[in-house]
Amino acid sequence: MTSLVIGGNGYLGSHVVRALVEDGEEVRVMVREGANTIGIDDLDVTRFVGDIWDDDALRAAMTGVDVVYYCVVDTRGWLRDPAPLFRTNVEGTRHVLDIATEPGIASGLKKFVFTSSYATVGRRRGRVATEADVISEKGLTPYVRSRVQAERLVLQYARERGLPAVAMCVSTTYGGKDWGRTPHGEIIAGAAFGKLPFVMSGIELEAVGVNDAARALIKAAAKGRVGERYLISEKMISNAEVARIAAEAAGVPAPAHSLPLPLTYLLATLGTVKGRLKGTDEKLSLASLRLMRAESPVDCSKARRELDWAPTPVEQSIREAARFWVGLRAARRKSKAG
């Protein structure tokens, strides 16, 4: 079995690559020129250098593969100008799909596993959402809208062009080897270093261990039904609980203060106004806060049932992430001292 991971140097993508190598598969990885590949540098894989707009690199990487794992996404939901989100998440995806459905590539492709988001599922307070819940684009933040449009493109290509695609609606991922320091990893690092002055109350997110998410994608390649989407999450967990677990694993006190939700909204509003006045991208804005307030839980029984997917408790992955950050800091200090 030959697999290609597009975006294999990213957080989830690198864990997919690592799991495939551990399974003994022949693995190809497509990465951008100059990309940070520390997460896969120790692995025996075949590299193709190019971005998702490089036709020659895409064709070379895809030719002769059995499975394509597409793990490219622009997650910068705080951007004031959302154009880059739609260029990468929608038009970039469309471009890759066009190459994947060319006769010389499509004839040998058994599965196209697309990394989507649980944000693409329609969720409402007071009920548990499933893959059957359709979301309306009305009122969505640009980031979520770009993810919804990308997923719909993939499923459209499955229906109309015979692409053997499945969409994996992955929730917030936690775990080690977070070399790019993702936003959620940054919270764990702050808690593990004892430098997180407070946590935001009222923030709960669906979460899953990054290794479990990677394994779900691989299981989808073998068992996922073409044209279907699968919710991938272990449980809903609060921001405060994530910080507490991380601090405990690192052996430091948990953040002693919490920021009330109304005050968080005030700060997010100020961030939004500042961004508009100064033309800057503010990570805490009303748009980013809406992403963090995904209150409605989701039902992941479809993935458990059809893919035979059994995730470990996400608390284990949070502890692993905390230990990763503590170990990385210790290694860097030792290197400097030496």
Please write the tens of the pLDDT for every residue from 213-241: 999 999 999 999 999 999 999 999 998 89
For the stretch 144-195, pLDDT in tens is 999 999 999 999 999 999 999 999 999 999 999 999 888 888 889 999 999 8
Residue 80 sits in which domain range?
Answer: 2-194+205-239+297-329
pLDDT of residue 250: 95
199 domain residue, yes or no: no
Residue 77 has pLDDT above 90, yes or no: no
Backbone angles phi, psi at 139, to 5 degrees: 85, 0
Within a domain: 266? no
Question: Domain holding 215: CATH number?
Answer: 3.40.50.720
User: Which of 19-33, 276-290, 315-329 has the least mean pLDDT?
Assistant: 276-290
Judge whether residue 14 has pLDDT over 90: yes
Can you tell me the distance from the alpha carbon of 95 to that of 58, in angstroms, rounded to the nearest whole number?
10
Count of domains forming the chain: 1
Determine, yes or no, domain membership for 250.
no
Q: Which residue has the tokens 């284990």?
A: 316
Q: Where residue 2 falls among pLDDT bands split at 50, 70, 90?
A: very high
Residue 144 forms part of a structural domain: yes
Residue 313 lies in a domain: yes
Backbone phi and psi for residue 125, each to the nearest 5 degrees, phi listed first: -60, 145
- Quick check: is 230 in a domain? yes
193 contacts: CB under 8 Å, gap ≥ 6: 250, 252, 325, 326, 329
Whole-angstrom distance between the N-terminal and C-terminal Cα of the chain? 44
The CA distance from 189 to 195, in Å, is: 8
Q: Cite the beta strand spans of the chain per DSSP E.
A: 2-6, 26-31, 46-49, 67-70, 111-117, 165-170, 172-174, 198-200, 204-209, 229-232, 235-238, 257-259
Q: Is residue 85 part of a domain?
A: yes
Give residue-wise pLDDT tens across range 251-302.
Answer: 999 888 776 767 666 766 776 676 676 666 656 666 666 666 656 789 999 9
What pLDDT is attached to residue 127? 87
pLDDT of the residue at 199: 79
Residue 128 is assigned to a structural domain of this protein:
yes
Please give the residue that has the higher pLDDT: either 28 or 263: 28
* CA neighbor of 5 nearest in space, from 59, 51, 87, 61: 61
DSSP per-residue string spanning 280-293 = ---SSSHHHHHHH-
The whole model's pTM is what? 0.91
Separation CA 22–CA 281 (nearest Å): 39
